[in-house]
Structure 1
């Protein structure tokens, strides 16, 4: 536990000093501007490093010879590495200042593609590079946003989607991945369109158009003529179609969908008729991921069972079960992919005491799980880490709301601890029991119980649950947190007088909204790049995502919905916030722009509320660089500890 000399600085944070001084104290630390943030004690820095020096592995792709591409961090950012075999050395392949992701091996070559943006601006560029080094080729035009990179089975064709500044529409482009000069526009789409698969003969692409996070429509694009044919059955009834791909020689599509079901299932769909044939068995849980071997014979998929992943392997032709992988950590799947020869299945998992690694399951007769990577937890002892407990509490209308609870180790069972309520973003995301260094850190360092609720509107609990917070019902999810505060008050080992709210992105909105409703029951709040005013957010978020967000949140151009936004926007209820707040933002954020944080900080201070503000000049939506994340955690530590010490 940290025991710094806080006596002097606590006086400045006492109940008598809620009024914000007129002068804002500003200083610069690296790329960050800190406002009203005191110097960080040395022991806080030491504690933060214990939890920030872990490394995790994200599986990216198999290489043709049986090696793997992964991303991991050996400096400030995630870069691409090659792993030749189980537990062999990681060979770094990219060396950028910015983090990279989405690496894919180019079939029949010794090269791969990957994507990178600048300063978190999300204007992603796609590059190709050889495994042995040499020239890195930029395949995309500067100043554009490029995503959904899809390679053909022979490696000769790359298809992707491109957005331009100020436009809500994506174009579909194609190129030889080894020749940037071959880039061409195949089709100028309408809305958020992107390729999902390429036919075996390289003549057609399966295109998905995202209407919202609850609805997808599928089309087939002729790559020669540029003609598009919408699959009428995908538009007939709104549903999600995730990871669609051609099967049966292009006569059918395999996809995860909630069409005709409250949960997402893996189904095979006849392209001509739209007839759906379930592939996964009936379940109360969503299918979250799948892969099919290149020869089309073996299928692997995973269920999201109350947040935990369970992998299933079956014969795709006969539908019979095959030997199943056992011995994996109980946690959350991050990747599932067959090797090119179909002999092995890569399974990447993160868990409460595992930052993220890759195992393989042998399908060639020997069976069994083999670990490929061994990521470091830095100076952490896994035995001291908290195991999240799954609980449920009843909300205002009787709805059962799940939450994961991290309770500090070594604390007496009846000892009342402070509480941090950490609300996820999305809003369609789901808090799951994977590696969560923040929850572990706060539990250990602050002695706090961290509660991560999956309020209504969260993914993973069926379509009906997902839709319970749509449009004018937005604040029902805020009332879920009110019910959680009631639940906290009934627990003998939680201190209802020391509860802080915490969130990022949509969770940042939730943090602000909870503060407007329940300030008298909280000691303060932390929000990172949160929505403070629904109308200004929808008007200022980047054009390429605006319609998608309107479909989820509501359209501010409709008078009735605009009136709801006027009523529920935290900025319009800012006088109800009476407790200290910490606000953090990336200056390059295209999703929730800096103006959302600037205006809430301005109005909080105008009302005399103690407000700290941290602005990172080289980050976007989420902080990707280790020095920035270190500083973020240091500031949070000092802020939250002061809140809890006051009481």
Structure 2
């Protein structure tokens, strides 16, 4: 059972989320997210624009040899994402092989004997887990960032890897694994109809598949139990709400759907979701915001629909869960306001949680548990140090340190991340996270000794959120001397339905006002120098960057847009087939292009419509294979700027998608961005050096506007 699974909007779409170049994460490198994404730009991207006329060469920024190297912050981890096999005999983790992340497996009592069991040579594996056979590892991979995910099974005894979904052009997604059916995996594939996913049971050894749910009802997602029976199927209603059907229920009329098992109004659709069944299939766990503001966790008798409240929080939605590995019963859950607040539902694990809480400062994350629940694998995640991994013996109440994710971080001058709550102009509370250069805040009170240059780092989504923890982007920018502020603006998830729905039809409206209010707070609090604030972000954060430079052109000193949409009309006009069931939701939250009012609003809120207002330096990064925000979204704003003789620097990666997964590409882009920001904000730099080596980086426009870039490109060519 996967208790974190959600079949509402946030499961089917992580709209504009998953930007590996600037995603918040607890591990290095930031992982990509496999679930189906949101709409992109035009289907066939036009060629990169021609370079703009040369401008005066920029001055060389100040070099500081004491900076934390970019390859430490954005390169591969030593070891990350460890897991125990279900029988507890083996341990696995991600580690590089010739610079590419692969899965390693070894004896649980001696991780140093682990050996690689996969052989990815290009993008690296970022998501994997154990099958219940204990002899197989499952992982997902796409090609060049196209997000047409395939599911692979590694036979550890034979040393063979099998593609379980060997069909070109499909986007497969894992729907579940079960200890009751250890030799199979439940997979969704849009093989019959590109708009929807059928559900198959696939034999891990042979690849043979059996159809268990033919999706002929335009269902956007399903939830199955441990017997691999589809128990709920979700369809988006015309008004953007959710309708959940029990496929086994008998309809009142032949050829009709059964009566809905659960109906969720539009205003609750993002905050009300079934998250899993227990092993018996009789108990459904439901996160529900209906009749309240924040989403609470309920235990529901599936037959009678009788709910029992388990966990709630006055200011935050319940978002995280711990379930017993055998019974599937929820044992603890957490809401996340500033930081997670865990509540034990099963009091038998309270002593375990209390003991683990003494490991050190940071967040405790239980990553895996053996089927007999005697051994756990636990991560301690601080905000200013490497992630530490421990094996925990429940019988002996003993923890054993295994390894950290990156030894090179030890002893580095990392800075603490501080939660701050900022009031928006209309009174909404914006939970935000501030990181300051270590030397600027000797007393640790989250206020520098004098105002600093600042980077406003905007998360993607917008239906996602920033969290507290180890964040390579925060550490990188703070180490370069900048204050870094991440803001959970309205529309961010986890803060109740009122906060989320306050963003409806507010792209470039009140959502942007929240960012401006956060900048004002930083200036009033003597954190930021008002003349030296940059805006930077990926995906929706990239859109927010473009909005910042067009709608409020005097507010920011410069902007860094990573895979951000520039035209909301083209963004929505090219929704891939399997996002079609959710189109009503996009229209209600962003604007309906099929109505005169909606079309006018989308055009008015598109940065492309206001290009002539750009007066500050802009850097754009784009993956050519991005299925969410197509290359055309960046191409068209670059062309529009060039047509008006407005300088812009455009960096393109032909082997990347929605963000930059390959370490070489991450480091090359951030080398460009570091120098670009230094030119705007006056901070120090680590020279480009060899950071373009092995990267696919292209600079179709504006290479001459960032110091040292042309020379570095020529050096790589030589």
Is the TM-score greater than 0.5?
Answer: yes
1:218 to 1:262, Cα distance in 2 relative to 1, 3 A: same
The within-5 A match list for 1:203-352 is 204-209=229-234, 211=236, 217-221=243-247, 232-237=260-265, 238-239=268-269, 240-242=271-273, 244-247=275-278, 249-280=280-311, 283-296=314-327, 299-315=330-346, 321=350, 323-324=352-353, 325-331=356-362, 336-352=367-383
Distance 1:335 1:590 in 2: 33
Offset, 1:306: 2.5
Correspondence 1:91 to 2:115: yes
Offset, 1:293: 1.9
Offset, 1:376: 1.4
1:245 to 1:394, Cα distance in 2 relative to 1, 3 A: closer
The within-5 A match list for 1:607-626 is 607-626=644-663
Give the TM-score of the pair, scaled to structure 2.
Answer: 0.77
Offset, 1:588: 0.6
Offset, 1:329: 5.0
Offset, 1:583: 0.3
Give the TM-score of the pair, scaled to structure 1.
Answer: 0.84
Gaps of 5+ in 2: 1-48, 250-254, 442-447, 685-718
Correspondence 1:147 to 2:173: yes
Q: 1:479-530, CA deviations, whole angstroms, 9 ceiling, x for partnerless residues?
A: 1122123223323342111111001001111111121122212111000010
Offset, 1:455: 0.8
Is contact 1:586–1:616 with CA below 8 Å preserved after alignment? Answer: yes
Helix, strand or coil at the partner of 1:188: coil
Which structure has more relative contact order (CA 8 Å, sep 6+)? It is: 2
Q: 1:123-177, CA deviations, whole angstroms, 9 ceiling, x for partnerless residues?
A: 0011111123532111112221000341232213322111259833222222222
Offset, 1:242: 4.7
Residue of structure 2 in register with 1:490 after alignment: 524
Distance 1:160 1:216 in 2: 22
Q: 1:430-463, CA deviations, whole angstroms, 9 ceiling, x for partnerless residues?
A: 1112221111111112x11111111111112212
1:327 to 1:549, Cα distance in 2 relative to 1, 3 A: farther
Offset, 1:41: 10
Match of 2:570 among 536, 550, 561: 536
Helix, strand or coil at the partner of 1:588: coil
Q: How many residues align?
A: 608
Distance 2:509 2:541 in 1: 13
Match of 1:57 among 80, 99, 102: 80
Offset, 1:600: 1.1
Q: 1:563-585, CA deviations, whole angstroms, 9 ceiling, x for partnerless residues?
A: 21111111111222211100000
1:191 to 1:337, Cα distance in 2 relative to 1, 3 A: farther
Correspondence 1:374 to 2:404: yes
Offset, 1:587: 0.6
Is contact 2:621–2:651 with CA below 8 Å preserved after alignment? Answer: yes
Distance 2:50 2:683 in 1: 23
The within-5 A match list for 1:142-181 is 142-152=168-178, 153-163=180-190, 167-181=194-208
Residue of structure 1 in register with 2:470 after alignment: 435
Distance 1:87 1:353 in 2: 28
Distance 1:448 1:210 in 2: 46
Helix, strand or coil at the partner of 1:429: coil
Residue of structure 2 in register with 1:13 after alignment: none
User: After the TM superposition, which of the residue ranges 158-167 and 287-296 deviates more from structure 2?
Assistant: 158-167
CA-based RMSD of the aligned residues comes to: 3.5
Match of 1:399 among 407, 424, 428: 428
1:295 to 1:127, Cα distance in 2 relative to 1, 3 A: closer
Correspondence 1:585 to 2:609: no
Distance 2:664 2:105 in 1: 25
Is contact 1:198–1:206 with CA below 8 Å preserved after alignment? Answer: yes
Residue of structure 2 in register with 1:594 after alignment: 631
Q: 1:331-383, CA deviations, whole angstroms, 9 ceiling, x for partnerless residues?
A: 4566544311122333345331344444344433x32544343221425524x
Question: If each structure's strand is expressed as a fraction of its own residues, which one has the higher value?
Answer: 1
Q: 1:161-195, CA deviations, whole angstroms, 9 ceiling, x for partnerless residues?
A: 11259833222222222222335474124446444
Offset, 1:424: 0.3
Helix, strand or coil at the partner of 1:68: strand
Offset, 1:387: 0.5
Distance 2:368 2:273 in 1: 16
Residue of structure 1 in register with 2:39 after alignment: none
1:38 to 1:254, Cα distance in 2 relative to 1, 3 A: farther
Is contact 2:455–2:484 with CA below 8 Å preserved after alignment? Answer: yes
Gaps of 5+ in 1: 1-20, 27-35
